[in-house]
Amino acid sequence: MGALILEPLARPDGMTTHEYAHRRLRQAIMVGSIRPGESLTIRGIAEAMESSPTPVREALRRLSSEGALKVLDNRRIMVPKMTAERFGELIALRAVLEKHAARRAVAHITERQIDRLVEIDKAQDEAIARKDNAAALLLNQEFHRTLYTANPDQIIMPMVESVWLQLGPFLGIAMEHVAQLYFVDRHQEAIAALRKRDADAVAEAINADICEGIGGFERAAIENLLRLARQ
Amino acid sequence: MGALILEPLARPDGMTTHEYAHRRLRQAIMVGSIRPGESLTIRGIAEAMESSPTPVREALRRLSSEGALKVLDNRRIMVPKMTAERFGELIALRAVLEKHAARRAVAHITERQIDRLVEIDKAQDEAIARKDNAAALLLNQEFHRTLYTANPDQIIMPMVESVWLQLGPFLGIAMEHVAQLYFVDRHQEAIAALRKRDADAVAEAINADICEGIGGFERAAIENLLRLARQ
DNA sequence: TATTGATTTTTGTGATCACATTTCCAAAAT
DNA sequence: ATTTTGGAAATGTGATCACAAAAATCAATA
């Protein structure tokens, strides 16, 4: 019975227990700190965060609806295994979703919001410079989220986050073996296109950002990583 | 306290209570039988299906993660309100998602599976002929699902179903005021393109099927429907 | 008559318990 | 040495209860 390691996380008051559990588990999965195939037990998690099975179960149900966890026939719950095929599907889907989200945001985004994007991008560059992978990852997500949610009627964000979640375990594997993540930054290009209100150019910048970033892993490299992880 | 009306639904044995609750509620929302703005109570639903709060709460959490329900600040749960803007986003997203899903299925689908699509399409035509809206709707979904899941590594289906779920309440409104739904069927076109393994043509057929079907509502017609529903 | 304020009821939340199933581990049999 | 089998421990599931917050009800006041 391996004890589950969970980073403590600030709990704003008013936040319910199941919400807190959801957030903590989600973050752990997103940054790849739970290994695929590792099976999670309700009581184990409940104990790890000093609560009871009921709210933990709710958190796990949500995460499985979000694609972050898989419920087996035995009713055991685990992080889905990553394969080269699944990875390919995730990247292709991510590109399609985010191109669309970006395009749909262009008409709504304000100059003020674009300024905010510039700030976030700068902070990310600093994080990369000081080799702080975790911070850079979070800032990269914040950049994309800020852009897409500029559209007030947007409904795609939960799906984008679902893909991020499903890519999390791969990031964990990659970080174990690569030590330093390679970040691609086409954000400047996206920002310039946003200022010109050129939707096609924005979409293309986002596409490049994704495909040359995490999506740029060669298939051979992926299979190699996954083989290493299996041992 | 308005009693919740839920169609009874067969419960395969081995199915857990929360799963059953999830399915029943999901179906009710999908065919639009729960009015937007109507607030759901955990105890009310538990009573309606003769169980207890715990599994119902789990079902509601899943549905809110799937975008079918919204949790308010009061922690009340309701079906999201539909607006013309949101409807537009849903249709645009549906088109993008399903074009992509269709394109990604082409390489994997077998002749046998294409034959199955022909059968489903025929059954749908029969349902339309006998003016059985509910059956036609379900068969239409089965057609699309069968196509997209031909890709064994596909991860997009939950997202497609999420969009269907979010469109459900609109269907309910439309059916209250239009009596007879107008079905567009570009399935034959998709089937022909599949036989030729022409991915672009398949994607285009699916796109047309969506945009000329439920997506074909004029904006004025939508706003009219929504205005009627508000009273 | 409309509005405020107190009380009663309803509701969401989470801990706990009992039950059935599954998993695990060690001893016995092949 | 490997497989089988028995029981013990662990696990998922769902009903119930207690508590706090929210909503609804109703009486008193302006």
CA distance A61 to chain B (A): 6
The answer to whether B61 CB is within 7 Å of strand C is no
Residue from A64, A70, A71, A89 to probe the interface with B (highest B Cβ count within 10 Å) = A89
**Would you state the structure tokens that stand for residue B199, as one six-digit string?**
């991915």
What are chain A's domains? 17-78 (1.10.10.10), 84-230 (1.20.120.530)
pLDDT of residue A1: 39
Strand D positions closer than 7 A to protein CB: 10-17, 22-23
Residue range B107-139, pLDDT digits in tens:
999 999 999 999 999 999 999 999 888 889 999
pLDDT 10s digits, A158-214: 999 999 999 999 888 888 787 677 778 899 999 999 999 999 999 999 999 999 888
Chain A within 8 Å of B89 (Cβ-Cβ)? yes
Q: CA A1, C1' C26: Å apart? A: 18
Distance CA A58, CA B55 (A): 9
Q: Write out the two tokens for A94.
A: 């991510």
Q: Does residue A40 approach strand D to less than 7 Å at its CB?
A: yes
- Is the per-residue pLDDT at B147 higher than 90? yes
Give CA–CA dist A165/A49, Å, rounded: 21
Task: With beta carbons less than 8 A apart as the criterion, state whether A175 and A131 touch.
Answer: no
Mean pLDDT in chain B?
92
At how many degrees (to 10) do helices B133-148 and B111-129 cross? 170
> How many A/B residue pairs have CB atoms within 8 Å?
76
Q: What's residue B18's pLDDT?
A: 98
Using a CB-CB distance cutoff of 8 angstroms, which residues of chain A are in contact with residue B87?
none
The pLDDT assigned to A2 comes to 43
Mean pLDDT score of chain A: 92
Place of tokens 């899943």: B62
What are the tens digits of pLDDT across the range A118-163?
999 999 999 999 988 888 999 999 999 999 999 999 999 999 999 9
Tens-digit pLDDT profile for residues A49-58: 999 999 999 9
Q: Are B64 and B71 in contact (CB under 8 A)?
A: yes
Q: Which residue has the tokens 């979000």?
A: A66
**Is B171 in a helix, a strand, or coil?**
helix
The ipTM assigned to this model is 0.92
**Distance between CA A68 and CA B163 in Å, rounded?**
19
As a whole-number percent, the residues of chain A with pLDDT over 70 amount to 97
Contact indicator for B202, B193 with CB cutoff of 8 Å:
yes
pLDDT of B152 over the 90 cut: yes
